[in-house]
Amino acid sequence: MPKGDITTKAGALRHLIHILQPQVGTPGTVGGTTNYVPYAQFVPAAIEPASARDSIRSGQTVSEIIVPITIRWMPGVFANGTYSQISGNYRVQWLESFQGGGYVVVAQYIVTGVINVDQRNWKITLACIALGLNQ
């Protein structure tokens, strides 16, 4: 694809995600807690793992998976002034349906950056790092 291409292939946005924003927990508690509340729900998205690496930190092997998640531009949801708030704070949950008629979270990601190609407000790519479901 040439630089600045804003097209999306048919069927690429076949996954559903929730975007969660942080909310400070009970004020006045020692250590503080952060809860995540829905910011945008059931958003069609393209999820394509890009790279993975293992590193040793404090004597433990840590795996890190870089995942770009592409969504359509959503007016009011990602205004240019909120990009810095989203990076490093917001989380994404990947949902899959199950036969009982509901959805289950199969993966979680932390958003590390937001890319709006050429500021054209057509599609947005969330640069994410995968988290364990217990994080």
Ordered per-residue pLDDT tens for the chain, 135 residues: 455 566 677 677 889 999 988 887 666 666 667 788 888 889 999 998 888 777 777 887 777 788 999 888 876 666 555 565 666 678 888 888 888 888 988 889 988 888 877 677 778 888 898 887 655
pLDDT of the residue at 29: 63
In contact, 134 and 80? CB cutoff 8 Å: no
Alpha-carbon distance of 71 to 126, in angstroms, equals 8
Name, in order, each residue with C-beta under 8 angstroms of 87's C-beta and a sequence gap of 6 or more. 111, 112, 113, 114
Q: For the purposes of burial, counting CB atoms within 10 Å of the CB of 69, is it exposed (0-12), middle (13-18) or buried (19 or more)? A: buried
Cβ atoms of residues 21 and 34 within 8 Å: no
pLDDT at 45: 92
Q: What is the pLDDT of residue 16?
A: 92
| Secondary-structure breakdown of the chain: helix, strand, coil percentages, each rounded to the nearest 5 | 5, 55, 40
Q: Which two tokens stand for residue 18?
A: 């929730």
pLDDT reported for residue 1:
47
- Residue 103 neighbours by CB under 8 Å, 6+ apart: 16, 95, 96, 97
pLDDT at 79: 54
